[in-house]
A and B are shown apart, each in its own frame.
Chain A
Amino acid sequence: MSANTRQHKDAPLLEVKNLETAFSIDGTYYNAVDNVSFRVKPRQIVGIVGESGCGKSVMSLSVMKLLPKGIGKIRNGEIIFDGVHLENMTDSEINKIRGKDIAMIFQEPMTSLNPVFSIGFQLQEVLFNHMKISKKEARLKSIALLKSVGISRPEKIVDEYPHQLSGGMRQRVMIAIAIACQPKLLIADEPTTALDVTVQAQILELLKEIQEVNDMSVILITHDLGVVAEMCDEVIVMYAGKIAERTDVDSLFHNPKHPYTQLLMGAIPKMDEEVEKLSTIKGIVPSLKNMPKTGCKFAARCPKAMQECLTVTPQLAENEEGHEVACLLYETSQQKQEVNA
């Protein structure tokens, strides 16, 4: 059905072009997401990685149009979902898409469920919002949904309250709510960060299964490179509000190009390798207010920084087929000379 709106098979489901999202600090707006463009194809799992404060969550909130009112705003750029522009939509227009075609799950399954309503009520709320459905049908459907996310005794759980469930179960309920209307795109913001490894393994398995069954696209935001390697087709590495590198998952892990990506890979202790010292990245991500105005934002922490990195802003460009990187090390010498001249 959705094929009508999509002209080609390969047409992206979501296209973000030159997105700039800014936050107001003491009356001045600072860009938290700075000129970011990417695409998500149908049925693709795209991972977004980076340290805290690099803009991964802000980007997903921009796509969902969930930025805090009066503080954050989309300054520039386009967000095209399934052929429709989202960036200038009113609240009532976006409400028809949000929760139905684009759904989101959050990190904290403890705080993202309302403690005073039963699980069934919170599931049915989504169904009533987006479907014409009777109370009885909604109840049956929510039981079926709970069953589909692997909850045993769904007939009982449907009448229970969030505090009666464990962390893993709550995240399963969140997933059930998110997939209630069979969305085309699921944004998962650190969905397993608060969970134990064995439960994380269960939830990742479930997400993969649902993605295949429902033909969904998924944007998976995480800081865990292990999760990325297990789950994603394509990966975007973000640093300080910009995309540092974008490529398929295999070349990210076996041929990382950006110095930031390389350092991130060396910083994680690996199970099958023994190293005395892990690689580190000196310093921290600069805060929004202290962001360098010119040049590469990673230059101050980069071991390979050159003089021109402080003045020339690198552009995201294709270095190998399907492998984009924003680093002066990979820009052709001709361009460099031009800049110097």
Chain B
Amino acid sequence: MSTEHNNTAVLKKDKSSNEVLLEVKNLKTYYPIKGGILRRTVAVVKAVDDVSFEIKKGETLGLVGESGCGKSTAGRTILRLLEPTEGQIIFDGQDITNVRGTSLRKIRQDFQMVFQDPYASLNPTMMVGHLVSEPIRNYNSKSEKELKPEVMDLLAKVGLPEDAYYKYPHEFSGGQRQRIGIARALALRPKLIIADEPVSALDVSVQSQVLNLLKELQDEFDLTFLFIAHDLSVVKHMSDRIGVMYLGGLVEVAEKDSLYAEPLHPYTQALISAIPEPDPRKKKERIILEGDVPSPIDPPKGCTFHPRCAHAMPECQSVKPQLKEVKPGHRVACHLYK
């Protein structure tokens, strides 16, 4: 059993080559808040504020953080569903930050998204067959006859029965709808899939089915994932490396084992200690954070975490810490580590 385990681990390592598929440099996405009669911008919400990371081919990068930390905005900005305010997005060697029109449309074949709410993300008036083939029809002029075998194949891949083709989304359960969403994302054989909380609307038993499916598909189609979720145990199960976000910024990035065994940033430490452990015999020391996440309209100066941090020092209030590599492959943005 254990040797088998090792083998798969080695295989995985080989697959995630050193080739970088996606590189994000100093990405900033601000939402303007308009007010007054003239609808002038009175303030900005700094949803993503200076975030940099890269994802290698075949790798899964997990992005965790609490609601409002900007993880979804980051995902959407990378897909260019939102306009970045500043920074660079380099996908497969090409700078796509300012690509527009037909060239953007062309690039978009290569990255797809799986959404959180399988109830809201599928058009209720479309047959599943059409839903899944829509991305293909969007890029190729193929007749339904030509498309049908392809769609059937996709449905089988995600574990849906053949007769699903002629059914409508309301006839399926949440887990099956999420499978439809995944089939749709796979239709164009993308290189990168951004999964934004793909299992948080599902029950645990169904959640495990969808997680297993995503892992299988990753192996089969050589997919690279950006996996966004708030549930740390789910992210750990899925990812190779994990980035922790707080208030628009990336506070720590590391290999998953290193992150869980030795979290460096005080926020990561609190986040990991807050997870309820499904074992009553394990009584662990909880770090309970005071208060709530501050508003991203007016984030605290210096380190954004300092008002809630137990280790805050005077310089944390004025100097914003930069993400620095403190151990091989382990980067953290905190003044405690120099």
Interface residues of A (CB under 8 A from B): 51-52, 166, 168-169, 196-202, 204-205, 223-230, 249-250, 253-254, 263-271, 274-281, 284
B274-285, CB under 8 A of A: which get 1 and which 0?
Answer: 111111110000
Are the C-beta atoms of A169 and B212 separated by less than 8 Å? no
Enumerate chain B residues within 8 angstroms of A199, measured Cβ to Cβ: 66, 292
Partner of B204, one of A168, A229, A230, A267: A267
Q: How large is the interface on B (under 10, 10 to 19, 20 to 34, 35 or more residues)?
A: 35 or more
Partner of A229, one of B5, B273, B277, B292: B277
Enumerate chain B residues within 8 angstroms of A267, measured Cβ to Cβ: 204-205, 207-208
Are the C-beta atoms of A278 and B208 separated by less than 8 Å? yes
B309-332, CB under 8 A of A: which get 1 and which 0?
Answer: 000000000000000000000000
12 examples of A-B residue contacts, CB within 8 angstroms: A196-B66, A197-B271, A201-B273, A201-B276, A201-B288, A205-B288, A226-B278, A230-B276, A267-B207, A271-B233, A271-B260, A280-B205
Enumerate chain A residues within 8 angstroms of B206, measured Cβ to Cβ: 51, 284
Q: Which residue of B lies closest to A277 (CB)?
A: B212
Any chain A CB within 8 A of the CB of B169? Answer: no
Interface residues of B (CB under 8 A from A): 5, 8, 66-67, 173, 175, 203-209, 211-212, 215, 230-234, 236-237, 260, 270-281, 286, 288-289, 292-293
Enumerate chain B residues within 8 angstroms of A198, measured Cβ to Cβ: 66, 270-271, 274, 288-289
Q: How far is the CB of A185 from chain B (nearest CB, A)?
A: 22
Partner of A201, one of B260, B286, B293: B286
Are the C-beta atoms of A254 and B230 separated by less than 8 Å? no
Query: Given A253-B280, A264-B204, A270-B233, are A202 and B212 neighbors across the interface (CB < 8 Å)?
Result: no
Enumerate chain B residues within 8 angstroms of A223, measured Cβ to Cβ: 203-204
Are the C-beta atoms of B236 and A224 separated by less than 8 Å? no
Are the C-beta atoms of B286 and A268 separated by less than 8 Å? no
With A and B bound together, what is the CA distance between A204 and B293 in angstroms?
A: 18
Q: How far is the CB of B32 from chain A (nearest CB, A)?
A: 22
Q: How far is the CB of A187 from chain B (nearest CB, A)?
A: 20
Query: Given A51-B205, A201-B286, are A166 and B281 neighbors across the interface (CB < 8 Å)?
Result: no
Enumerate chain A residues within 8 angstroms of B8, measured Cβ to Cβ: 276
Q: Which residue of B lies closest to A165 (CB)?
A: B292
Q: How far is the CB of B11 from chain A (nearest CB, A)?
A: 11
Q: Which residue of B lies closest to A200 (CB)?
A: B274
Are the C-beta atoms of B277 and A226 separated by less than 8 Å? yes
With A and B bound together, what is the CA distance between A200 and B230 in angstroms?
A: 12
Query: Given A169-B292, A202-B289, are A197 and B275 neighbors across the interface (CB < 8 Å)?
Result: yes
Enumerate chain B residues within 8 angstroms of A263, measured Cβ to Cβ: 205
Enumerate chain B residues within 8 angstroms of A226, measured Cβ to Cβ: 275-278
Enumerate chain A residues within 8 angstroms of B173, measured Cβ to Cβ: 284
Enumerate chain A residues within 8 angstroms of B175, measured Cβ to Cβ: 284
With A and B bound together, what is the CA distance between A265 and B279 in angstroms?
A: 10
Are the C-beta atoms of A200 and B205 separated by less than 8 Å? no
Q: How far is the CB of B103 from chain A (nearest CB, A)?
A: 39
With A and B bound together, what is the CA distance between A274 and B207 in angstroms?
A: 17
